[in-house]
Structure 1
Amino acid sequence: MYNQTIYSNINYDQQLERQFPSLPVPSFPGQSGLPGPEFAGPSALPGLPGSQILQAPTAPPPPFIPQQAAASPLAVDPGAIRLCLFRNTYIWLYNGEGFWFYPIFVGPRSVAGFRWNGRFWMIFGIDTRRIISFTCY
């Protein structure tokens, strides 16, 4: 039954292509399987022109986890993390999780960019109140 469902979905897609040949085929970041997905659009990120294409870093982050500095009991100041824009940044969250991040936008209470998942960069955003500490290189 599972194979039949896949076949019927493929068949349905082929029927749509025949009926509407001029429709553009959507593409999604990372769909090609290559690192460095692109991100664009009129509402891509607040404060950035929609025509600007933002591309993930072309290289992986450093192969180590940096030493965590003394954590502040207060939330991370967005002004401080702004100094890490367009730089490899290691982030530690209050829940104990840590990861490499490449910030490209800092808002009043959030930061957006690309997160390293171990194989490639993915678009990612997070509330700065969830970050306990960070360091950038």
Structure 2
Amino acid sequence: MTNNPYYRNGDEFDSSSIPQGPPQGFSNDYFEPPPFGPPPGAGLPPIAPPPGFSPPIPAWQVGPGGIRNCLFSNTYVWLRNGRSFWFFPTFIGRQVIVGYRWRRRRGWTYHFLNPNEILSYQCF
């Protein structure tokens, strides 16, 4: 192993030539765990609570198609599992809808939705 720069005299390990810490010009911030809560750019939650009523389920808006029109609006969502709630979408993708869900005791909380779980919705 005479060509290995980390060994001298055949068997002795020399750690003095191994770089320590991040390269010059870089910080250790990259290796810290991400902060809790919504990621940057996710949009801010609404300031006020949603309307104080639960609307009847509309027969004409079935599935998640067209929910892009509800971006940054109070939206009542009905899921296929029977649950329903107020939602404030801030990002709508093909496989995920991101925003804030209204919870009576905690207010607006960051929430993800699978578009395939949506039975119906209504924007306000």
TM range (shorter): 0.5 to 0.7
Name stretches of at least 5 consecutive residues in structure 1 with no aligned partner. Answer: 1-25, 30-38, 42-51
Aligned residues: 92
Q: State how far apart, in whole Å, the 1-side matches of 2:59 and 2:42 are.
A: 36
Matched residue, 1:114: 100
Structure-2 separation of matches of 1:53 and 1:68: 28
Q: TM-score of the superposition, structure 2-length normalised? A: 0.65
Partner of 1:102: 88
Which residue pairs with 1:76 in the alignment?
Answer: 64
Structure 1: distance between partners of 2:85 and 2:70: 14
CA–CA distance in structure 1, aligned partners of residues 57 and 103 of structure 2: 20
User: What amino acid sits opposite 1:91 in the alignment?
Assistant: V
Q: Larger Cα Rg: Structure 1 or Structure 2?
A: 2
Sequence identity, in percent? 40
Partner deviation per Cα, 1:44-63 (whole Å, 9 max, x = no partner): xxxxxxxx463111100000
Q: For residue 109 of structure 1, report the CA deviation from its aligned partner.
A: 2.4
**Aligned with 1:82: secondary structure?**
helix
Matched, 1:40 2:3: no
Which of 22, 31, 53 pairs up with 1:64? 53
- Output the CA distance in 2 between the equivalents of 1:28 and 1:132: 30
Provide TM-score, normalisation by structure 1.
0.59
Distance 1:122 1:83 in 2: 21
1:88 maps to 74
C-alpha spacing 1:27/1:106, structure 2 compared with 1 (3 Å): closer
Report the 3-state secondary structure (helix = DSSP H, G, I; strand = E; otherwise coil) of the residue aligned with 2:73.
coil
Offset of 1:75 from its aligned partner?
Answer: 3.9
CA drift of 1:70 comes to 1.0
Match of 1:136? Answer: 123
Other-structure match for 1:126: 113
After TM superposition, the structure 1 = structure 2 runs for residues 16-35 of structure 1, keeping only pairs within 5 Å, are 28-29=36-37
What is the rounded CA distance, in whole Å, between the counterparts of 1:128 and 1:27 in structure 2? Answer: 26
